[in-house]
Amino acid sequence: MKAKDYIITSADVKMPKIIYGTAWKKEHTTILVEAALRCGFRGIDTACQPKHYSETLVGEALLNMQHEGIKREDVFIQTKFTPVSGQDPKEIPYDPNASLTEQVRQSFTTSKQNLYTHYIDSLVLHSPYARFENLMEVWHTMESFVQKGELGQLGISNCYSLEVLEYLYDHSEIKPAILQNRFHAKTDYDKEMRLWCDAHHVIYQSFWSLTANPEILLSETLDAISHKYKKSPAQIWFAFLRENQIVPLVGTSSSQHMLEDLRSLDICLTSDELEQMQTLL
């Protein structure tokens, strides 16, 4: 990836403008992460949540790729702390009976072990807690990892309440640098929250960007623009997201699509085309 393909977050962390997501990859995780890195991805998203992620296999891939010249410092690694409510009761990677503070510490230690690293670039709270007291206990524990030099930045995911995001921002010492949400029509594409994020220098990461938006990908507008540039609708969509300060997570299992997704970074849409696509939201 070129220098232009990265963004510097409010936490002064260098983050790629497109990231490979590893949810639901199961036993294929290692081979797919290796393929993504060979294609040119330099950002990997995972989670300490065996229910949906195989973080240990992400670690194997990162270790294997060091033999091909891709060093640990070359890759932006983002993982998550997942509350008990989001875990498989039979496979929780920490003691669910421990305090919230201890749960976060155990999860973070497990992630570092799984990923063969002493430093994580980005740690995301997988979903907010209903009680602000619990939310802040977890967040303050995450802050301690940054303060110890073990972690670059903090973020939150699956947060669709601006009230919750504002509370977290106002009551935290280390502000969230990332908001990672599902990007689709049912939440009005988080328009209000994205405006708030832009004003507070919080980077919006989108997931399900393709899966949740088939109508947009099949629209006449996208079809016409993709024909003009001789690119796929998905590539045009990713270029549009980038111009809107959105960092998409992609999870394709196809090496060809991986390459195409990365090439979307080279597409420069006109202001008229951006306005046309904006009407689709």
Q: Which two tokens stand for residue 53?
A: 């992620």
- Looking at the domain assignment, is residue 11 inside a domain? yes
- Looking at the domain assignment, is residue 29 inside a domain? yes
- Looking at the domain assignment, is residue 101 inside a domain? yes
What does pLDDT average to over the chain? 97
pLDDT in tens, 213-232: 999 999 999 999 999 999 99
Residue 106 has what pLDDT?
98
**Reported confidence tier of residue 99, pLDDT bands at 50, 70, 90:** very high
- Looking at the domain assignment, is residue 228 inside a domain? no
Beta strands (DSSP E) in the chain are: 6-8, 14-16, 19-21, 43-45, 76-81, 120-125, 151-157, 178-182, 203-207, 246-250
**Reported confidence tier of residue 14, pLDDT bands at 50, 70, 90:** very high
- Looking at the domain assignment, is residue 192 inside a domain? yes
Q: Which CATH number is 141's domain given? A: 3.20.20.100
The pLDDT of residue 20 is above 90:
yes
Once rounded to an integer, what is the mean pLDDT over residues 192-198?
98
Who's near 197: CB < 8 A, 6+ residues apart?
179, 203, 204
DSSP-derived pairing of the beta strands 203-207 and 246-250: parallel
Does residue 176 contact residue 169 with C-beta atoms inside 8 Å?
Answer: yes
- Looking at the domain assignment, is residue 273 inside a domain? no
Residue 1 has what pLDDT?
86
Q: Which two tokens stand for residue 8?
A: 């510097």
**Reported confidence tier of residue 45, pLDDT bands at 50, 70, 90:** very high
Once rounded to an integer, what is the mean pLDDT over residues 57-72?
97
Residue 132 has what pLDDT?
98
Q: How far is CA 210 from CA 195, 226, 233, in A?
A: 22, 15, 10
Full domain range(s) for residue 80: 3-213+247-253
Gap between the Cα atoms of 261 and 267, Å rounded: 11
The pLDDT of residue 261 is above 90:
yes
Residue 9 has what pLDDT?
98
pLDDT in tens, 149-166: 999 999 999 999 999 999
Q: How many folded domains does the chain comprise?
A: 1
The pLDDT of residue 16 is above 90:
yes
Gap between the Cα atoms of 126 and 129, Å rounded: 10
pTM above 0.95, yes or no: yes
Does residue 248 contact residue 18 with C-beta atoms inside 8 Å?
Answer: yes
- For the chain, state the CA radius of gyration: 18
Residue count of the chain, please give it.
281
Once rounded to an integer, what is the mean pLDDT over residues 130-140?
98
Once rounded to an integer, what is the mean pLDDT over residues 114-120?
98
